[in-house]
Amino acid sequence: MTTKPKAAVSRLDPEPMPRRDWLGLGSLWAMGGALMFGLLGMLKLPKAAVLASPSKKFRVALPETLPAGEAFVPPGRAVAIFRDGEGIFAVSTICTHLGCVVKPNAEGFECPCHGSRFHPNGEVRKGPAPRPLPWLKVSVSGGTVMVDEGTTVPQGTKVA
């Protein structure tokens, strides 16, 4: 590297880095670095290790008469439970678009927020929803149905 001729040094523009400033700057950077690493470690603060959400599993008794193709929605849950000849299955009613709760109707499901429509098996029929409604894990024991909203199963999984 060639050195440029030195410009006239003014009282207001001393050399860029006097040697005695070097240590000061060095310690400043060290402090900044240490602070930054500390902060990086604390960045996890807003993400709790255990989420404060209610249990995703619930047990419910299906009504005696539930015609095939008709949805049973347990009160306060965003799940539609169906029973047909092959068995019992549960479809999540949380829209895959922006999280509104879809309503079961004769042709499947409809979303009140942005007009997504789904087939009874959860496939998207119309609207902005990017993915089908997921099927949820179901287990049957002693006449009641246990649904796990936190576990999805492949479409078509029915439990006798």
Residues forming contacts to other proteins in the complex (CB under 8 A) are 12, 46-48, 51-53, 75-78, 97-101, 110-115, 124-128, 130-131
Shortest approach of other proteins to residue 26 CB, angstroms?
27
CB of 124 to other proteins, least distance (A): 7
Q: Which is nearer to other proteins, 50 or 68 (CB)?
A: 50
Burial readout 27-59 (b: 16 or more C-beta within 10 A, e: otherwise) = eeeeeeeeeeeeeeeeeeeeeeeeeeeeeeeee
Provide, rounded to whole angstroms, the least separation between the CB of residue 11 and other proteins.
10
Q: Are strands 108-110 and 103-105 parallel, antiparallel or unpaired?
A: antiparallel
Indicate the residue among 84 and 110 with the shorter CB distance to other proteins: 110
Smaller CB separation from other proteins, 59 or 87: 59
Which residue lies nearer to other proteins by CB, 54 or 143?
54
CB of 112 to other proteins, least distance (A): 4
Instruction: List, as one string, the DSSP characters of 38-88.
Output: HHHHHTTTTS-SS-----SEEEEPPPS---TT--B--TT-SEEEEEETTEE
